[in-house]
Amino acid sequence: MMSSSFSACRVGFSFVMMNIFYKSVGDSLPELSPQKYFNTLQPGKASLAYFCQANSPSPSIFLEELNEAVKPLQNYGISVAKVNCVKEETSRYCGKEKDLMKAYLFRGNVLLREFPTDTLFDVNAIVAHVLFALLFNEVKYITTLEDLQNMENALKGKADIAFSYVRAVGTPEHRAVMEAAFVYGTTYQFVLTTEIALLESIGFQNFAAFWFSFFAYTEVAEDPQQVSTVHLQLGLPLVFIVSQQATYEADRRTAEWVAWRLLGKAGVLLLMRDSLAVDIPQHTNVIFKREERVPVEFLVLHDIDLIVSHVENNMHIEEIQEGEDEDHDMEDPDIDIQDDEVAETVHRDRKRQLPLELTVELTEETFNATVMASDSIVLFYAGWQAVSMAFLQSYIDVAIKLKDTPTMLLTRVNCADWSGVCTKHNVTEFPVVKMYKEGGNPVSYAGMLGTEDLLKFIQLNRISCPVNITSVQEAEEYLSGELYQDLLSYSRGPVLGLFSPTMTTAKEDFTEAGNYLRGCVITGIYSEEDVLILSNKYAATLPALLLARHKGGKIESIPLANTHAEDIVQIIKNAFLETFPEITVENLPTYLRLQKPLLILFSDGSIIPQYKKAILTLVKEKHLDSLTPCWLNLKNTPVGRGILQAYFDTLPPLPLLVVVNLHSGGQVFAFPSDQAISEQNLLLWLKKLEAGLESHITILPAQEWKPPLPAYDFLSMMEAAASRHSARKGPEYMKETGVQESDEEQHEDKSAIRKELTETLRIKHWNRSNWFKEAEKSSRHDKEL
């Protein structure tokens, strides 16, 4: 069967070959104490348990999904339980808070695997992960073509390989592969991958979700409207061959032939009419189920060809409808593009092991006690969101840099598990960093989501600003940088406010501004009787600011007469802006806030000194006060090429000087390419612009610059789902007074919300390879349950 060059063959599988009947017995999640639970464990039998503290909040959505997984796991002989930890009984699974965010898989009394609850995000993920742990020998995970070739060579002449690709673990496709392996694991060696690059390397660029076609049938004795199999989860319909005892053998052969003919197109089930309490029309011999929660069709079809044609015709209609939907979707090109690059980065770094132990994981029970005990930095994130996971790497990098430094306690809260904590602290988007200090309100971090900016925020918050300076000598040490020498690398220079003792209002305004600028700038205040010594030395008229610029070794004074707190904040921010900055993605928003036209020199590399000198001369002579002069290095900021192409359609010769009036009209003007960029030529050109004698090369559209899609308020979605769940548990008399229809609508709404949530959760494939890696370390897996 095998050959040295891998060739894919379609292999048929059914989930259950024997007579498996769907039963509703024991499909609710049992709740046990630790002692009772361990007493129920039987040698050789598998069991999945979730431990939680009695009378403490638990992730409600996870428990709902776990409850839904009870029945399918029982079909494979796997029991499921919720274990309520009580003080009277001790168990190592009821200890630390982090242990309570895991589910545990046992075979007998032996622990096989620990699952973080955020990996078990829905019933498909639960079933898939549990079966994969139990079927470790039957399903091998590979990542490269070399792995596949080694597997093929090892099994050549011994066994057939069933090779499958799924987009991510925990999806319906992954569950389907695991269920097929449960039945056929002793017949075929299953090989699984999630790497699209592996498919491309063997010539399957346009590949379906996975390679299995299910052709054998399953026998059921349940209302067809209630039957749900993996076929429906994969978008395939179900065909029920209605049978009875007298015609069982003939109907069984019909079901087999129909299953073969509908290879990979539908699920086929043999429905025993004699075992049903549900009325089926007398002459009906075929039932067709298109999808969940859609009424079934009762049919009379006396020929296998008619059955097959009915299924294929319905699939053709659906394809036409999907094509129309795709044409309609083309009108909105923004769908499914949010955070693609971030998600790709997270996926690329998924094998990177993060030392999470360097930060403290908080829960609803530990949050207040931890934050109140010490000054803390708290990261609010969601474990399934790409931006959160990308920033978590930066957060851990900060923890590594501060590992041996006595500073604030770095903590984190996974809002996917503890949405109540995040809602209480007004967190509605991710990620968010807040600083908590004793006796003060939390301070939100508003900088770039990167290591250096966050490190600067934390380090500069080691001191409470503004610092109270008490002597002239201390003020001189403060301005020279000697007082906080270890913080100089994080700040452009200290700022000192000078006030006479009687300037109470001015001091209050400066103090308010200093508090606002915490984490960005070091501020100090001096208001002693001898303040005039400093005032006279630096030619400052009180009240005043002294700004120490360490690069040039200069101290600049700025008067503060009749200024309020917000004015002081803006003065300080503007004072530290560069005169002729290099524009980057990070600092562009800062310069756009000045609300001035941009005078941009585009350069393909370092700026030519004579051009820089010409512009700085005009700045010094105040000719450019109405503009923001800057330059952009296309080698450091490649997006500049796209900007120029938007201005000129094609990339023009560089260097190039343009004026962009973003805030008034959107006109773009280009400096004449046949003139040298000199002080005289540039000044003459700017005067022509001011007089309206130059023509623009393009006008930028007036539309707002917004993300392609609005940010999801996931916490609100989760809370909405939880509230609907609570509503369904209302008093019984409400159900008796005609509220059943409303309950059904709530259930449908909730299902829609959960569907939207789980679709988002499924992108979290950054930790899947780590899971597989851990699975390979275990040798305690048998082939039998």
CB 271 within 8 A of CB 255: no
Q: Is 556's pLDDT higher than 90?
A: no
Put the strands of the sheet holding 523-526 in their side by side order.
Answer: 467-468, 523-526, 495-498, 544-549, 554-559
**What would the DSSP string read from start to end of 743-783?**
HHHHHHHHHHHHHHHHHHHTT--TTHHHHHHHHHH-----S
Q: Residues 226-283: pLDDT tens digits?
A: 888 767 766 788 999 999 888 888 888 888 888 777 766 788 888 888 877 778 888 8
pLDDT for residue 774: 41
**What average pLDDT does the segment 386-397 reach?**
89
Average pLDDT on 313-335 reads 55
Q: Which two structure tokens, joined as six digits, stand for 344?
A: 């790709």
What's the confidence (pLDDT) of residue 279? 82
Topology of domain 489-575, per CATH? Glutaredoxin (3.40.30)
Higher per-residue confidence, 585 vs 616: 616
3-state helix, strand, coil in the chain (%, to 5): 40, 20, 40
Question: Which pLDDT score is estimated for 601?
Answer: 93
Class of domain 353-427+430-460: alpha beta
pLDDT at 738: 45
Read off the pLDDT band of 629 (50, 70, 90). Answer: very high
At 130 the pLDDT is 92
pLDDT value for 683:
93
CB atoms within 10 A of CB 317: 10
Which of the 8 DSSP states describes residue 718? H
- Pairwise CA distance, residues 679 & 696, whole Å: 21
Give 68-124 pLDDT, tens digit per residue: 899 889 888 899 999 888 776 667 787 665 556 788 999 888 888 888 888 888 888
Amino acid at 164: S
Element (H, E) at 684: helix 679-691
DSSP calls for 45-105: -EEEEEEEETTS---HHHHHHHHHHHHHHHTTTEEEEEEEE-TTS--GGGSSGGGGGEEEE
Domain 11-194 has CATH 3.40.30.10: yes
pLDDT tens digits, one per residue of 363-378: 988 998 888 888 899 9
The per-residue pLDDT of the chain, averaged, comes to 78
Residue found by looking up tokens 């010409």 in the block: 614
> Which has the closest alpha carbon to 195: 234, 146, 152, 151?
146
Element (H, E) at 400: helix 386-401
pLDDT band at 728, cuts 50/70/90?
low
Give the residue, 353 or 566, on which the prediction is more confident.
566
Summarize the confidence of residues 519-541 as an average pLDDT: 90
pLDDT reading at 223 higher than 50: yes
Kindly state the greatest CA–CA separation across the chain. Answer: 112
Q: Name the band, by pLDDT with cuts 50, 70 and 90, for residue 14.
A: very low
The pLDDT of residue 670? 93
Specify the pLDDT at position 592: 87
pLDDT higher than 70, residue 55: no
| Nearest Cα residue to 411 out of 456, 465, 458 | 458
pLDDT of residue 205 exceeding 70, the answer is no
Q: Please give the backbone phi and psi of residue 211, each rounded to the nearest 5 degrees, phi first.
A: -105, 15
Q: Which residues have a Cβ under 8 Å from the Cβ of 290 and sit 6 or more positions away?
A: 237, 297, 314
What order do you get walking across the sheet with 188-193 strand by strand? Answer: 139-141, 188-193, 160-165
Q: What are the residue ranges spanned by the domains of the chain?
A: 11-194, 214-327, 353-427+430-460, 489-575, 588-699
Q: What is the pLDDT of residues 473-489, one digit of tens each?
A: 999 888 888 888 778 77
Return d(Cα 615, Cα 685) in angstroms, integer: 13
Rounded CA-CA distance 505/495 in Å is 19
3-state secondary structure of 302: coil
The predicted pLDDT at position 242 comes to: 92
pLDDT at 704 over 70: no
Instruction: Give the pLDDT mean for 382-399.
Output: 88
pLDDT exceeds 90 at position 62 = no
Backbone angles phi, psi at 654, to 5 degrees: -115, 155
Confidence bin at 154 (pLDDT 50/70/90): confident
The CATH architecture assigned to 214-327 reads: 3-Layer(aba) Sandwich (3.40)
Q: Which residue has the higher pLDDT, 750 or 691?
A: 691
Distance CA 660, CA 604 (A): 19
Token digits for 542?
A: 């009180």
Quick one: pLDDT at residue 206?
Answer: 41
Q: What is the pLDDT of residues 425-437, one digit of tens each?
A: 988 888 999 988 8
Q: Residue 568's CB: how many other CB atoms inside 10 A?
A: 26
Tell whether the model's pLDDT for residue 414 goes beyond 70. yes
- Residue ranges of alpha helices (H) inside 245-373 are 248-261, 304-329, 340-348, 367-373
> If we measure between CA atoms, which residue out of 52, 53, 50, 59 comes closest to residue 418?
59
pTM above 0.75, yes or no: no
What percent of the chain clears pLDDT 90, i.e. is strictly above it?
19
pLDDT number for residue 35:
86
Q: What is the pLDDT of residue 91?
A: 72
pLDDT interval class at 632 (50, 70, 90): very high
pLDDT tens for 753-773 read 444 434 443 333 333 334 333
Fold assignment, 588-699: Glutaredoxin (3.40.30)
Percent of the residues in the chain that have a pLDDT greater than 70, as a whole number: 76
Coil, helix or strand for 604? coil
